[in-house]
Amino acid sequence: MSDDAVTLMKQQVGKAAADRVQSGTIVGLGTGSTTAYAIQYIGERLQKGELKDIKGIPTSFQASVLAKKYGIPLTSLDEVDRIDVAIDGADEVDPQKQLIKGGGAAHTREKIVDSLAEQFIVVVDSSKLVDKLGLGFLLPVEVIPMAMTPVMRAIEGLGGEPTLRMGVKKAGPVVTDEGNLVIDVKFANGIENPADLEKTLNNIPGVLENGLFVDTADVILVGEVKDGQPSV
């Protein structure tokens, strides 16, 4: 599939999610290139007066920058008692609506916001749909820096192959918004039991959060190309 087709799918699905946002609601704003379109379209609906009295809760520095750019007022979890809807992307989605997230190293804040939302809408293009998690995309694990080596050993003990995520041009490791590192883990046969693995990984001392989102997603909006045209 061409890059242009993927971009069109992301735009369509971002718009479809933004169209579901209602006035007077608190909206969790996810991270990534697909959610970026949703944030843009929410901002456009606000500017047109179609939407009123929205407040966003960003899941990353990137999301807060975009929200400000598109004129979405922001709030925080200390100021509100609910999140009505969260919109966020994913790296893999299985048939049970379980997800791998964290391609943008934002999965810790994303899991907090997305799991608090009354409705969590996932926005993906069709390339993200898989039969089994972990065969294509490595599982991100956010780790406190001083625990990197013991956490990697513990992950090897679970049968995973851990790699420290490096930044652009491999000049240094990726550092999360929380100042931590990301270890990407390969499981040769994929992930058999996402619910168990999510808990097991988070039980390793030094692990802050992993990218398995189990029983969190309510709605999956999928961008597709049908008859040469993008659709949702």
Q: Which residues are annotated as part of the binding site for substrate?
A: 31-34, 88-91, 101-104, 128
Instruction: For residue 184, state whether it binds ligand 5RP (rule: CB under 6 A).
Output: no
Give the whole-angstrom CA distance, residue 177 versus residue 156. Answer: 26
Instruction: Please count the residues of this chain forming the interface with ligand 5RP, following the rule CB under 6 A.
Output: 17
Instruction: For residue 230, state whether it binds ligand 5RP (rule: CB under 6 A).
Output: no
Measured from the CB atom, the residue of 91 and 198 that comes closer to ligand 5RP is: 91
Among 102, 194, 223, 230, binds ligand 5RP (CB under 6 A): 102
The values of phi and psi at residue 47, to 5°, are -60, -35
Smallest CA-to-CA distance from 66 within 82, 96, 88 is with: 88
Measured from the CB atom, the residue of 104 and 205 that comes closer to ligand 5RP is: 104
Binding residues: 31-34, 88-91, 101-104, 128
Give residue 19's identity as a one-letter amino acid code: D
* Residues with Cβ within 8 Å of residue 80, at least 6 apart in sequence: 26, 55, 57
**Active-site residue 110, yes or no?**
yes
Instruction: For residue 28, state whether it binds ligand 5RP (rule: CB under 6 A).
Output: no
Give the whole-angstrom CA distance, residue 88 versus residue 113. Answer: 10
Q: Name the catalytic one among 44, 50, 79, 110.
A: 110
C-alpha dihedral sign at 148, 149, 155, 161:
positive
Q: Whole-number minimum distance, CB 200 to ligand 5RP, in Å?
A: 20
